[in-house]
Structure 1
Amino acid sequence: MLACATSSWGSAFIAGNIATQDLDPGTVAFFRFFFATLLLVPLMLWLDKGGRRPKGKEWLMMGFLGLTGIALYNIAFFIATRDAPVVKSSLFIASNPILILLMSALFLNEKIKGRQVIGLILALSGASIIITEGQFSTLISDGFHQVDLVLLIAVICWALYSVVGKVALQTFSSLTCTTYAVGTGTIMLLPFAIVETSYTELQNTSLLSWGAIIHMSIIVSVISFVMYYQGIKMIGAAKASIFINLMPLSAVILAVVILDEAFTFVHFLGAFLVLTGVTIGSRSGSIGNKTTKTPVMADGR
């Protein structure tokens, strides 16, 4: 489930690049989650009927999720898909598990085990090889630019979103968390869409750009966000974070299939390291040991 969710995020790099050719980053982010909200609200009312809803100070937590994982992260992400080199932006995003792992240990008291560290190193190494095509010197020659700060903000926001999301899941279902986070984040994105976009620009937006936004709304946002939250609840934020390394892998595969780019030995080596790292880092323990997991209910909790 986590593999499918994080792999679909790789397609957001391509879809985001397409959509930001016609619309500004904040506007793309708003419409992405506006359409997602239209789907999530009835889905929550149907599948999580009678479930726990935010009250009082709990709205602050939902607002924090919307601010970090929806509003700030996606503005930064779409700026990166438009302005940053693919090598640098992908590597920044792939570094997410490191910060999530540390934040989980610091704020959630999750223990960092040896196999998680090994898996994390292998997966991040594989992602780095895929992104740079083995030419690590390109990172040095490119140097640092202002967009690096934008990418750093994206990494920090997603790490906070993942860790605080684990706390929220102790009270609310994964579907409820996702719906309220997306809803509050969409409201926060509305001012950006109003300032950035005119009615004429919306009229001139191509069908391809709207299709890219719809894809990000349904597949990348609704389906994948719910699965990612459920994955965090089942195995913890630290283990779930390792699967984020599948994102650059899926981006490479999509580039080969859609853009007809070559798949070299370097890509194969990187893919092998990513998959090996995910397998090692996500293992519960030895075959003979039993682990306690939160049961998955039919309504998504």
Structure 2
Amino acid sequence: MQAYAYIFILAGAALWGLIGIFVQKLSSLGFTPFQIVAIRVITAAVILVVYTVWKNSALLKIKAKDSKYFIGTGIISVVFFNWCYFTAIEETSLSVAAILLYTGPAFVVLLSRFFFQESLTSRKLLSLGLTLVGCALVVGLIPGGGHKVSTYGILVGLGSGLGYALYSIFGKFALGTYQSLTITTYTFVFASAVMLPASQLWNSLNLLLNWEVLWYGLGLGFFPTVLAYLLYTFGLSLVESSKASITATVEPIVAALVGIFVFGEVLHSWQTAGIMLILASIFLIQKSSQVSDLDTMQEQQKIQA
């Protein structure tokens, strides 16, 4: 079943990698990063509530005391990391911002060790190391010179990584009580409750009535948001949060390809090497899971014998 979990996680992460197409367009139409976050979460919340009511309205029932999980996934994670990520795209580039976002697995590995007592295996640490070196190569920290990234761009990029990591942590806690659809829906309902008044989108009503804005706003809310989060959260329910996070580093690869083929961005040779290291880290963490599953089967066979 874990093999299918990785497929769901990879599919969700690939959809996240397409987000730059919608962000760049909405930015060019006159929206700020904060407003784009609002468009994303509000559209997603409406889609999810309508779909959940249609599928099974009972899934919308939650206990008041569990609101803390959705404050975590929706406000502390989604709102914060989206603002950081969209700002990083403006400060750097789509591909660099996406790679900085994927310092997230480092935060997830450390936090998962603390909260869930997930083991720090040699393969997991090696995968994490490859991911971080890959990120450093892509943003030009290694070998230095050439491709420059502003300090502010790096800081907001790292902030997006921390915010992204917190979704896996809060989401894992919530999965002990609720289904992935419930978690995803309330994540965006809580995020919308903050973003709607804070963004004051009604002041941009003339822009919102533009058919291009409606089209790209709906696309942003559905493809790299609703569908992506549903796929990732379901996969997260089946594997360790640290492994899910490292596997999802396929997103910056997709984002980098979008940057190259859609927006004409250019990657240097060391950035290409960084991409290869990230792909290698995904391969290692999946092999680690397979080895762990095999060990578990062998132990069960010994007990039965």
Counting only pairs closer than 5 Å after superposition, residues 121-270 of structure 1 correspond to structure 2 as 121-132=129-140, 135-138=143-146, 142=149, 144-145=151-152, 147-194=153-200, 197-203=203-209, 207=212, 209-259=213-263, 266=270, 269-270=273-274
Q: Distance in 2 between matches of 1:129 and 1:149?
A: 17
Q: Does 1:83 align with 2:95?
A: no
2:93 and 2:125 map into 1 onto residues whose CA distance is 28
Q: For 1:235, what is the secondary structure of its paired residue?
A: coil
Deviates more, 1:86-95 or 1:53-62: 86-95
Report the counterpart of residue 110 of structure 2 in structure 1.
Answer: 102
TM-score normalised by structure 2 residue count: 0.82
- C-alpha change, 1:46 and 1:199, in structure 2 (3 Å) is closer
User: Residues 124-174 of structure 1: CA distance to partner in whole angstroms, max 9, x if unpaired?
Assistant: 3334434549754347x54523x4443333222222221011000010001
Secondary structure of the structure 2 residue equivalent to 1:50: helix
Q: CA deviation at 1:220?
A: 0.6
Q: Which of 5, 8, 15 lines up with 2:22 in the alignment?
A: 15
Equivalent position amino acid for 1:211 in 2: W
What corresponds to 1:53 in structure 2? 61
Q: Percent identity?
A: 21
Q: Secondary structure at the match of 1:137?
A: coil
Segment drifting more, 193-202 vs 177-186: 193-202
| 271 and 238 in structure 1: CA distance in 2 versus 1, 3 angstrom threshold | same
Tell me, in whole angstroms, the C-alpha distance in 2 between the residues paired with 1:131 and 1:251.
14
Give the superposition deviation at 1:264.
Answer: 7.3
Instruction: Write the distance in 2 (CA, Å) between the matches of 1:194 and 1:263.
Output: 37
**Residue 122 of structure 2: aligned partner:** 114
Deviations 1:59-90 (A, max 9, x none): 22222221122222222222222234557533
* CA offsets 1:19-73 (integer angstroms, 9 cap, x no match): 1231122221112122212221132234445347321211222222211222222
Cα 1:254/1:152, change in 2 over 3 Å: closer
**For structure 1, which runs of at least 5 residues remain unmatched after alignment?**
292-301
Give the match for residue 3 of structure 2. none
TM-score by length of structure 1 reads 0.83
* Aligned 8 A contact 1:87 1:132 in 2: no
Post-superposition Cα deviations, 1:87-143, rounded to whole Å, max 9, x if no partner, equal 75334212111011101111221112111111222233334434549754347x545
Change (3 A) 1:114 1:65: same
Contact 1:94 1:127 (C-alpha < 8 Å) held by counterparts: yes
> Which stretch of the first structure deviates more once superposed, 93-102 or 252-261?
252-261
Q: 1:238 to 1:36 in 2, by over 3 A?
A: same
More helix by share: 2
2-structure distance, mates of 1:47, 1:111: 37
Say whether the 8 Å CA contact 1:127–1:245 is kept in structure 2: no
Return 5+ residue gaps in structure 2 as ranges: 1-7, 298-305
Distance 1:63 1:179, change over 3 A: same
Contact 2:92 2:149 in 1 (8 A): no
Q: 8 Å contact 1:89–1:151 — kept in the other structure?
A: yes
**8 Å contact from structure 1 (residues 126, 273) kept in 2:** yes
CA distance in 2, matches of 1:264, 1:66: 36
- Aligned pairs, how many? 287
| Cα offsets for 1:184-225 (capped at 9, x unmatched) | 10111012221783333434x571x44333222111111110
